[in-house]
Amino acid sequence: MERDEHLLEVFEHLLRMKNECSCTIFSECGLADMTVKQIAYLKVIDEQGDVTFSRLAEITKNSKPTITEMINRFVRMECVYREPCPKDGRILYIRLTDKGKKVATAEHDALRRVIERVVDSLDEQEQELLLEILKKVG
Protein backbone atom coordinates (compact mmCIF):
# COMPACT_ATOMS: atom_id res chain seq x y z
CA MET A 1 0.00 0.00 0.00
CA GLU A 2 2.85 2.40 0.82
CA ARG A 3 4.40 1.86 -2.62
CA ASP A 4 1.05 2.57 -4.29
CA GLU A 5 0.69 5.81 -2.34
CA HIS A 6 4.20 6.84 -3.33
CA LEU A 7 3.48 6.09 -7.00
CA LEU A 8 0.28 8.12 -6.75
CA GLU A 9 2.22 11.07 -5.33
CA VAL A 10 4.85 10.84 -8.08
CA PHE A 11 2.23 10.73 -10.87
CA GLU A 12 0.25 13.58 -9.29
CA HIS A 13 3.47 15.61 -9.21
CA LEU A 14 4.11 14.87 -12.91
CA LEU A 15 0.54 15.88 -13.80
CA ARG A 16 0.90 19.12 -11.82
CA MET A 17 4.12 19.84 -13.70
CA LYS A 18 2.34 19.27 -17.03
CA ASN A 19 -0.55 21.51 -16.00
CA GLU A 20 1.86 24.24 -14.90
CA CYS A 21 3.63 24.01 -18.25
CA SER A 22 0.28 24.24 -20.09
CA CYS A 23 -0.72 27.27 -18.03
CA THR A 24 2.63 28.89 -18.77
CA ILE A 25 2.09 28.37 -22.51
CA PHE A 26 -1.41 29.88 -22.34
CA SER A 27 -0.10 32.82 -20.32
CA GLU A 28 2.68 33.37 -22.86
CA CYS A 29 -0.09 33.73 -25.45
CA GLY A 30 -2.03 36.12 -23.22
CA LEU A 31 -4.83 33.56 -22.99
CA ALA A 32 -4.70 32.32 -19.40
CA ASP A 33 -8.50 31.97 -19.31
CA MET A 34 -8.94 29.60 -22.28
CA THR A 35 -11.55 26.93 -21.69
CA VAL A 36 -11.02 23.24 -22.37
CA LYS A 37 -13.72 23.41 -25.03
CA GLN A 38 -12.05 26.33 -26.83
CA ILE A 39 -8.74 24.49 -26.81
CA ALA A 40 -10.46 21.41 -28.24
CA TYR A 41 -11.93 23.47 -31.11
CA LEU A 42 -8.52 24.95 -31.92
CA LYS A 43 -7.09 21.41 -31.97
CA VAL A 44 -9.78 20.35 -34.45
CA ILE A 45 -9.00 23.32 -36.70
CA ASP A 46 -5.30 22.46 -36.49
CA GLU A 47 -5.88 18.79 -37.33
CA GLN A 48 -8.28 19.45 -40.22
CA GLY A 49 -6.18 21.81 -42.30
CA ASP A 50 -8.66 23.22 -44.82
CA VAL A 51 -11.72 23.50 -42.62
CA THR A 52 -14.79 25.57 -43.42
CA PHE A 53 -17.47 26.84 -41.06
CA SER A 54 -19.85 24.12 -42.26
CA ARG A 55 -17.29 21.37 -41.82
CA LEU A 56 -16.36 22.58 -38.33
CA ALA A 57 -20.05 22.67 -37.38
CA GLU A 58 -20.40 19.10 -38.65
CA ILE A 59 -17.30 17.82 -36.81
CA THR A 60 -18.15 19.51 -33.51
CA LYS A 61 -21.89 18.83 -33.82
CA ASN A 62 -22.77 22.50 -33.43
CA SER A 63 -24.96 24.85 -35.43
CA LYS A 64 -23.39 27.19 -37.96
CA PRO A 65 -24.40 30.27 -35.90
CA THR A 66 -22.65 28.76 -32.86
CA ILE A 67 -19.51 28.16 -34.92
CA THR A 68 -19.66 31.69 -36.34
CA GLU A 69 -19.91 33.13 -32.83
CA MET A 70 -17.01 30.97 -31.65
CA ILE A 71 -14.82 31.89 -34.64
CA ASN A 72 -15.59 35.58 -34.12
CA ARG A 73 -14.41 35.18 -30.51
CA PHE A 74 -11.24 33.40 -31.72
CA VAL A 75 -10.60 36.22 -34.22
CA ARG A 76 -10.84 38.76 -31.37
CA MET A 77 -8.42 36.60 -29.37
CA GLU A 78 -6.10 36.60 -32.42
CA CYS A 79 -6.13 32.78 -32.60
CA VAL A 80 -7.72 32.37 -36.05
CA TYR A 81 -8.38 34.27 -39.24
CA ARG A 82 -10.64 33.69 -42.22
CA GLU A 83 -9.09 32.97 -45.61
CA PRO A 84 -11.16 32.95 -48.82
CA CYS A 85 -10.84 29.85 -50.97
CA PRO A 86 -8.76 30.75 -54.05
CA LYS A 87 -11.16 28.81 -56.34
CA ASP A 88 -14.42 30.05 -54.79
CA GLY A 89 -14.31 33.30 -52.82
CA ARG A 90 -17.66 32.50 -51.20
CA ILE A 91 -15.99 29.70 -49.25
CA LEU A 92 -14.02 30.75 -46.18
CA TYR A 93 -11.39 28.59 -44.55
CA ILE A 94 -10.64 28.94 -40.87
CA ARG A 95 -6.89 29.22 -40.31
CA LEU A 96 -4.87 29.30 -37.11
CA THR A 97 -2.60 32.22 -36.37
CA ASP A 98 0.75 31.50 -34.73
CA LYS A 99 -0.92 32.15 -31.38
CA GLY A 100 -3.76 29.74 -32.23
CA LYS A 101 -1.26 27.08 -33.29
CA LYS A 102 0.62 27.50 -30.02
CA VAL A 103 -2.60 27.03 -28.04
CA ALA A 104 -3.70 24.04 -30.15
CA THR A 105 -0.40 22.28 -29.52
CA ALA A 106 0.03 23.44 -25.90
CA GLU A 107 -0.75 20.07 -24.31
CA HIS A 108 1.80 18.33 -26.52
CA ASP A 109 4.37 21.06 -25.88
CA ALA A 110 3.70 20.95 -22.12
CA LEU A 111 4.32 17.21 -22.12
CA ARG A 112 7.61 17.79 -23.94
CA ARG A 113 8.63 20.30 -21.26
CA VAL A 114 7.86 17.77 -18.51
CA ILE A 115 9.86 15.10 -20.32
CA GLU A 116 12.80 17.50 -20.63
CA ARG A 117 12.67 18.23 -16.90
CA VAL A 118 12.55 14.52 -16.06
CA VAL A 119 15.32 13.61 -18.48
CA ASP A 120 17.52 16.46 -17.26
CA SER A 121 17.30 15.08 -13.72
CA LEU A 122 18.48 11.59 -14.75
CA ASP A 123 21.82 10.28 -15.90
CA GLU A 124 22.02 8.28 -19.14
CA GLN A 125 21.65 4.88 -17.45
CA GLU A 126 18.58 6.05 -15.52
CA GLN A 127 17.08 7.44 -18.72
CA GLU A 128 17.48 4.06 -20.42
CA LEU A 129 15.94 2.28 -17.42
CA LEU A 130 12.99 4.69 -17.38
CA LEU A 131 12.43 4.14 -21.09
CA GLU A 132 12.46 0.35 -20.66
CA ILE A 133 9.98 0.55 -17.76
CA LEU A 134 7.64 2.89 -19.68
CA LYS A 135 7.75 0.59 -22.74
CA LYS A 136 6.38 -2.22 -20.55
CA VAL A 137 3.31 -0.22 -19.52
CA GLY A 138 2.80 1.60 -22.80
pTM for this prediction: 0.75
Residue 79, pLDDT > 90, answer yes
Nearest Cα neighbor of 119 from 135, 105, 130 is 130
**27 lies in the same domain as 67:** no
Predicted confidence (pLDDT) per residue in 111-126, tens digit: 999 999 999 999 999 9
Nearest to 72, CA basis, from 101, 50, 92, 43: 92
56, pLDDT greater than 80 = yes
| Same domain as 27, residue 38 | no
Residue positions counted in the chain = 138
Q: Could you give the CA distance from residue 33 to residue 79 in angstroms, rounded to a whole number?
A: 14
43/77 same-domain check: yes
Q: Do 42 and 80 sit in the same domain of this protein?
A: yes
pLDDT, one tens digit per residue, over 32-47 is 888 888 999 999 999 9
Q: Domain of 129? A: 1-33+105-138
- Shared domain for 28 and 49, answered yes or no, is no
Look at residue 50 and tell me whether its pLDDT is greater than 80.
Answer: yes
Residues 114 and 137 in one domain: yes
83 in the same domain as 50: yes
Same domain, 21 and 53: no
- φ and ψ at residue 51, rounded to 5 degrees: -120, 135
Q: For the chain, what is the domain count?
A: 2
Residue 61 sits in a domain whose CATH number is: 1.10.10.10
